[in-house]
Structure 1
Amino acid sequence: MQIEEKLQDFDTTKLVSTHQDELPCQLKAVLKKIAHEEGYLNYNILSRSISTEGGNYMAMLYEVDLKGRTNEGEKETNMFIKRVISQEHVKIINLSDIYSRELFFYNDLSKVFKELETEADVPLDERYKSVKSYNESDTEAIIMQNLNKEGFTTIYRMNVMPLKFAELSVQQLARFHALSFIIEQKRPEYFEKKIKSLKPSIQYGDDYVEFCKNMYKVSSNRLSNEIKDKIDKKADEYMKNYLTGHKTDVKCLCHGDYRMNNILLKLTEGEITDVIPVDYQLMYYGSPIVDFLFFIFGATDKEFRRNHFVHLKDMYHETMEQYLKYFDIDIDIVYPKKKFEMDFEDNLEFGLELNLYIAPIIFTLEDDVPDFDKVDLLEVKVKLDDRYYERLQGVVDDMIEWGKL
C-alpha cells in the first residue's frame, strides 16, 4: 500500500487548544524572552497541548506559535515544547537527570557536532541532523523548532517501520555513534569530561528488576508452556545481560531510546525523504550494538528482519566507515568489521529481552496508557495490542532459528 494512502498511520498526535494564560508562568516568561530575541515588536501566542496516544511518557508536550510584527514585517515562529512532569514517586528514572541530559545535547553537544562536521567539510546531506533549539531552554522545559510545520511527522508506534525509514534512520544512528569516536580523537578533554562520564539515567536496582518482572508477567502470558520453560531457565542470564550491559567492550555515546517514535520523518510526494532523530533524554555512554538492536527489534516483525536485517546491519557499518573517512579516522581502529559482526552475533538475545521487559509499554492500548505523573512504574498495569503478541512470537521464532533459545 502506498504511503500517501496511509497517512493516518504516521501522525498520531492530538492537538488541544489552550489559552496563553494556561501556560506555566516560567514558560510564559521564557517565551517573552524568545519573542524579544526574534525581533518581535508585538505578537500573539497560540498554544496547543499534545497527546501522542502513548508515544511519550515523561513530559507534557505543547505546540506554541508566536505571530506578530517585526521591523522587517510580519513573522511567525513555530515551537515545540517539552515540559518536565513531576514524578517524585518514580524510583527507577532520575527525571531531573534526563532533562538536563537533553538540554546538554541541544545546547552544547549538537554545536560540537556541527563544528566538527564544518571543520571536516562534510557534505550537508551526509551530516548528522538535529532540530534547532532555543538556548532559553531550562530544566523545566525544552524548546525546539516545530518541524511538524515543515512537513515532518512520526510513524505510529505499533507499526512495522517502512524500509526507507529504517535505512535513513540507521545511517543517522551510525553517524551519531561515529561522532563519539571523532570527539574522542579530536576533542579528548571534552570527551573525557562530558561524554565518557554519561552513565545511564535509568537506575538498574531492585525496583527496576521488579518493573521488568511485572512486564514479563504480561508479555509471556500467550507463549506456549514449552517456550516459557525455556525462557524461565535462562531468566537470570537475560536479566543480568539487560541490567548490567552486554557482551562488548566497544563503547560510544548512545541515544538510549532510539525507537521509531523518536525519529521524525518527512514525506515528499508520498515518499520518505528525510529523518531527524529527537529525544535525547536517555543518552548515555555505552554499547553501540545495543542502540542498533534496540532500534531494529523495537519496530520490526519476523518478515521484515528476514528480508532486511542483514542489509541494515551492513548499511550501519558501511555508513560509519564512510563518515569517519571525512575525519581521517580508520574504522579498523575504532570498530573493525570483524569485531562489529562478533558483537552483533553475541548480543542478539537483546531483541528478546527488549520485547519481554520494555516493549509492553510501547504496545499498550491507547485507552490504557498509564499516566506516569500519577502512577509509579512499579504499579503499571497494561493491556496490550494483539500485534505485540505476534511480534513477540516472531522474536521467539528468530531466537530459536538463530540458536539463541
Structure 2
Amino acid sequence: MQNEKREISIEHDKENGLCENNVLSTTLEVAVKNIIKREGYLTHVVNERRLPLDGGNYMAKLAVVNIKGETADGDKEIDIFVKEILPDDVNGFFLASNYHLNELYVYREPLKYFQKFQEDAGIPIEDRYNIPKFYEESNSEFIILENLAKQGFTTVDRMEPITLSFAEHAVRQLAKFHALSFVLKSKCPEYYDKRIKSLKLNMNFNDKWKKFMKNIYTATTRDLCGDAKKKAESVFPNVLERLPKFLQEEGSIGCLCHGDFRANNILMKVNDGKIEKLIPVDYQVIHYANPVTDLVYLIFLGTDQKFRRDHLENIKNLYHDTMARFLRYFDLNVEDYFPRVEFEKIYKDTLYYGFITATWLLPFIFADHEDLPEVKGVVEKVDYKVDKRMKCRIQGIFDDFIQWGYL
C-alpha cells in the first residue's frame, strides 16, 4: 500500500547517455509513471530513445522505453515500445487519428476476445494466433506494447523476397486471425454486426488521392520492358477504378482484415536458423473486408516471380486448410463460414488486388534507406530514390498477370 501512495517521478540514466531529450511527452510520461507504479518498483531508472525511420513505417512516430529497478521481489526490467500518433491530414486523403484509434480499438477489444477464445478452447500456445502484450495506459495519443525486439524478434529485409518458411508461418497466422474473426461472429453476433462490420477503411478517394496514385504508378512502371510497358500505359484507369472497390467492399464473404499484412509488419524470432515464432503487429489499417485481400497483399508485396511460380498454389491451399483446422478447435466448420468453393472463386476474383497494391506500394517498400519519402510530399511528386531491385520485382508481377490473362 505504501508503494501505491508514493509520488512517482521519472529518473533518467543521464550519466550513461542512454536517454534522449523530449522523447516522453507529458501524457506519455504520466503513462510510464503509472506502469512504474503498477509494476511495484521501489527504485527505477528510465531510458528512452526515438527510433529512426527505416522505410517500414510511415504512419507513426516510434520510441522505446526501458524501465529498470528494484521491486519487493528483486530486480526487474521492462521494455516497452511506443507508437505515437502523427499530425492529422498528412496528405489530404487520410486522417492519421482515425487509423490510430482503429488500432487502439483492436487491441482493447477484438484482440482481447481472440486471446480469451484461444484460452477457453485450450489451444496449445504454439498453435495460437500470436498477440503482443498491450498496455492499458495506451490512449488517443499513443499505443504502448511490449518491446519484442528485446526478446530477439526482428523484421525481414523489406526489399528481399520472403522465404518459403516465412511465408508458411505468416499465412498460418493470417488464417488463424481470420478464423478468430469468424469465431467472434459465432460467439458474439450482435457485437460483430455492430462493431466489426462497421469498421471501414478510413481513406478519402478524392482528387488528391488520384494525383498521389498517378505519381506513384508512374514511378512504379517507368522502367518496365516489353509487353508489360505497353500494358502499363492502358491499365492505369482500371487501377484507379478498382482499388477503392477492393478496399471498401467485402463481397460475398467478409471478416476482420489486417489491411497491411506485409512482411515488415510481422515480427520474427529465429532460433538455430529456423523460425520459432511470428507475431503480426501494426493494425492501424484494420477494417471489415474480403479476407483474401490480406492474403494476396502479403504475396505480391513480399514474393518474387520465382516464388510465385514454385509455391503460390501451395500457399493458397495452406491458408484455407489452416483456417479449416483452426476452426475445429471451436467446433466450427469452415464450410459454414468460408466454403472451399467460394474461397476458390473469391481468390481468383481478388488476385488482381495483389497487382494493384504492388503498383501502389512497392515504391515505398523499395525506398532508398538514405532517401526515405514523406507521405505528404509524394502527393505532389515522387522524387525520392528507389532501390534498383524494384525493377525486377515489378516486371515479374506484370509478366505474371499478363501470362494469367488479367492484363
Partner of 1:383 in structure 2?
A: 385
Kindly provide the amino acid, as one letter, of the partner of residue 391 in structure 1: R
Kindly provide the amino acid, as one letter, of the partner of residue 26 in structure 1: T
| 1:128 paired to 2:154 | no
Shift of 1:231: 3.1
Shift of 1:311: 1.1
Partner of 1:222 in structure 2?
A: 223
8 Å CA contact retained: 1:247, 1:347:
no
Partner of 2:3 in structure 1?
A: none
Q: Are residues 382 and 70 of structure 1, via their aligned partners in 2, closer, same or farther at CA, if it must alter by over 3 Å?
A: same
Deviates more, 1:65-74 or 1:274-283: 65-74
Secondary structure in 1 aligned to 2:92?
Answer: coil
Secondary structure in 2 aligned to 1:79?
Answer: strand
8 Å CA contact retained: 2:86, 2:97:
no
Shift of 1:22: 4.0
8 Å CA contact retained: 1:251, 1:285:
yes
CA distance in 2, matches of 1:102, 1:247: 20
CA distance in 2, matches of 1:352, 1:384: 19
Deviations along 1:229-272, whole A, 9 cap, x unmatched? Answer: 32333332232221222784211100000000000000101211
| 1:161 paired to 2:181 | no
CA distance in 1, matches of 2:397, 2:253: 25
CA distance in 2, matches of 1:259, 1:22: 28
Partner of 1:351 in structure 2?
A: 354
Partner of 1:50 in structure 2?
A: 51
CA distance in 1, matches of 2:307, 2:347: 17
CA distance in 2, matches of 1:22, 1:349: 42
CA distance in 1, matches of 2:123, 2:250: 33
| 1:65 paired to 2:66 | yes
CA distance in 2, matches of 1:259, 1:29: 33
| 1:235 paired to 2:236 | yes
Q: Give runs of aligned pairs for residues 128-147 of structure 1, distance below 5 A.
A: 128-147=129-148
Partner of 2:316 in structure 1?
A: 313
Partner of 1:363 in structure 2?
A: 366
Shift of 1:282: 0.3
Shift of 1:378: 4.3
Candidates 397, 401, 404, aligned match of 2:403:
401
8 Å CA contact retained: 2:90, 2:96:
no
Partner of 1:6 in structure 2?
A: none
Q: Give runs of aligned pairs for residues 256-295 of structure 1, distance below 5 A.
A: 256-295=259-298
Deviations along 1:91-132, whole A, 9 cap, x unmatched? Answer: 222211111111112222211111222222222222111100
Secondary structure in 2 aligned to 1:48?
Answer: strand
8 Å CA contact retained: 2:228, 2:395:
no
8 Å CA contact retained: 1:195, 1:285:
yes
Candidates 304, 312, 330, aligned match of 1:301:
304
8 Å CA contact retained: 1:20, 1:45:
no
Secondary structure in 2 aligned to 1:348?
Answer: helix
Kindly provide the amino acid, as one letter, of the partner of residue 268 in structure 1: N
Kindly provide the amino acid, as one letter, of the partner of residue 327 in structure 1: F
Secondary structure in 2 aligned to 1:385?
Answer: coil
8 Å CA contact retained: 1:266, 1:272:
yes
Shift of 1:363: 1.0
| Percent of paired sites with the same residue | 38
8 Å CA contact retained: 2:81, 2:144:
yes
CA distance in 2, matches of 1:18, 1:251: 45
Partner of 2:252 in structure 1?
A: 249
Shift of 1:165: 1.0
Secondary structure in 2 aligned to 1:192?
Answer: helix
Partner of 2:41 in structure 1?
A: 40
Kindly provide the amino acid, as one letter, of the partner of residue 223 in structure 2: R
CA distance in 2, matches of 1:342, 1:184: 22
Secondary structure in 2 aligned to 1:152?
Answer: coil
Normalized against structure 2, the TM-score is what? 0.91
8 Å CA contact retained: 1:360, 1:382:
no
Kindly provide the amino acid, as one letter, of the partner of residue 224 in structure 1: C
8 Å CA contact retained: 1:18, 1:49:
no
Secondary structure in 2 aligned to 1:381?
Answer: coil
8 Å CA contact retained: 2:223, 2:391:
yes
CA distance in 2, matches of 1:135, 1:247: 31
Kindly provide the amino acid, as one letter, of the partner of residue 320 in structure 1: M
Q: How many residues align?
A: 389
8 Å CA contact retained: 1:212, 1:358:
no
8 Å CA contact retained: 1:170, 1:312:
yes
Deviations along 1:3-31, whole A, 9 cap, x unmatched? Answer: xxxxxxxxxxxxx9543654212111110
Deviations along 1:366-396, whole A, 9 cap, x unmatched? Answer: 1221234x74644453321111110001011
What RMSD over aligned residues (CA atoms) do the two structures have, in Å? 1.8
Partner of 1:339 in structure 2?
A: 342
Secondary structure in 2 aligned to 1:346?
Answer: helix
Task: Give unmatched runs, 5+ long, in structure 2.
Answer: 1-16
Normalized against structure 1, the TM-score is what? 0.92
Kindly provide the amino acid, as one letter, of the partner of residue 328 in structure 1: D
CA distance in 1, matches of 2:402, 2:23: 54
Secondary structure in 2 aligned to 1:358?
Answer: helix
Secondary structure in 2 aligned to 1:82?
Answer: strand
Shift of 1:278: 0.2
Shift of 1:187: 0.5
